[in-house]
Amino acid sequence: MQESRRAELSVKQERAVLVGVLLPGEDHGGESPLDELERLAGTAGAKVVGRLMQKLPQVHISTYVGSGKAEELRDLCQALDADAVLCDHDLSPAQIRNLERITERKVLDRSELILDIFATRAKTRQAKVQVELAQLEYTLPRLTKMWSHLDRHGGGIGTRGPGERQIETDRRIIGRRMRDMRRELATIAQRKRRQVAGRRNEFTICLVGYTNAGKSTLLNALTGTDAFVEDRLFATLDTKTRVWELDESHRVLLSDTVGFIRRLPHHLVASFHATLEEALSADLLLHVTDISHADCYHHAEIVRNVLAEVGCGEQPILHVFNKADIARPTAEAGLLAAATNEHFRVSALRGEGLDPLRHRVLEIVAGREARITVDAHCASGRLLAWLHEFANVLTTTRDDDRLVVEARIEPRHLPALRSAAGPNDSIVVHEAPTPCSADGVR
């Protein structure tokens, strides 16, 4: 009896029908146009029970798909007992209203679905503010149609004025809330910039890539940590930064960021600008691509375009082809490999192929080091111990009670090195740090 009651109280999984319009010149890469929308629906917790596609020269102005297809969609929803209709493009309020009237089902467009996923994934205050701002920016231009039942065209005594007043009231409330959100995000951005400035002597690396490419798994594999990992889109919304020990004397800060996606809504990109601050200031980007995906080349192109949009188009990049253990030779993978001057095939889940990547990053970091000469007294134990722990000692020459040490160190260590030196010790910096370089496609 108790088990049957638990079953009755269980939450019903929404059944969704996917709808898409295939427009001229739209590039879906090597996958079916609705495949990504199905993954988004699964991430949002829906069960996809049907699909409907229509090829049109342009989206139908009133019903998204043609009127005949809209009726076909209604019949399909009834036959499959669907709860919702998910559309692969952004819809106007009129299109949503008309489709809901025809199908008698809830209708969501692509942006609203992504926003719903982001809202469930947001954990920190920053992520929640960013998602709320994006939701308000999505809602504001749709207020008029939302209040169509109370506007002056709705008819009826007593409905016309209040409807107009309610719209204006809502606009003021949302506008005020958006200003508050932007101020809070500006404060967060300032704090982020201070954090980044505090790491100016650290070598920073940022993981970027298409959503679900395995960035968090790679972060865990390289740093030995346990950042949250899930085989779903947008598992990570908040930037995570960990220490990556390259060898006994070199370390870098490695950050994971939100994944990108095809047709990522522009207001989401703008709202998450503070989250992408790590990528903007990074010394090196690791572009992680799921090489096992049938559409890997197209995914890499999308990431490149979004990076250019947020101002990271000129950052040094190393290309990491993840999930190589399950990848099969495909035309897409071959094109991607040919388009990158330097790439590393790895399996972050199995920990395979990580050493060549680490050695290459170590080369880049070492190329940024400063060459120094330290003239120290033999009794300067603290300074000499510090050199052997944190610097790459090249040569050591002894002259009576003096030691001359040639070494290379990271810029971040220079202040600590000078603090360890005694009054009779001297430090000469021969080379200024040089910016890192990495081959790759921009």
Which one has a higher pLDDT value, 434 or 203?
A: 203
**Rg of the chain's alpha carbons, rounded to an integer?**
28
pLDDT-based confidence at 212, cuts 50/70/90? confident
Express each pLDDT in 96-141 by its tens digit: 999 999 999 999 998 888 888 877 777 777 778 877 888 888 877 7
Closest CA to 315 of 397, 404, 205: 205
Main-chain dihedrals φ then ψ at residue 397, nearest 5 degrees: -120, 135
Q: Residue 100: what pLDDT? A: 93
Q: Token digits for 167?
A: 């719209």
Closest CA to 281 of 204, 211, 178: 204
pLDDT-based confidence at 375, cuts 50/70/90? very high
Q: Any idea which fold 14-108 has?
A: Rossmann fold (3.40.50)
Give the right CATH number for 200-365 from 3.65.10.10, 3.40.50.300, 3.40.50.2300, 3.40.50.1110: 3.40.50.300
Closest CA to 262 of 329, 212, 326, 330: 212
Cα(335)–Cα(339) distance, integer angstroms: 6
What is the per-residue DSSP string for 258-324? PPB-TT--HHHHHHTTTTTHHHHH-SEEEEEEETTSTTHHHHHHHHHHHHHHTT-TTS-EEEEEE-T
Cα(162)–Cα(156) distance, integer angstroms: 12
Q: Give the 3-state secondary structure of residue 375.
A: strand
Assigned CATH class of 368-429 = alpha beta
pLDDT, averaged across the chain: 81
Unique residue bearing structure tokens 């102005």: 61
Highest averaged pLDDT of the listed ranges 82-91, 119-128, 237-246, 268-277: 82-91
CA 184 to chain centre: 21
Q: Residue 228: what pLDDT? A: 54
Q: Sign of dihedral through CA atoms 278, 363, 353, 251? A: negative
- Whether the full predicted model's pTM is greater than 0.85, yes or no, is no
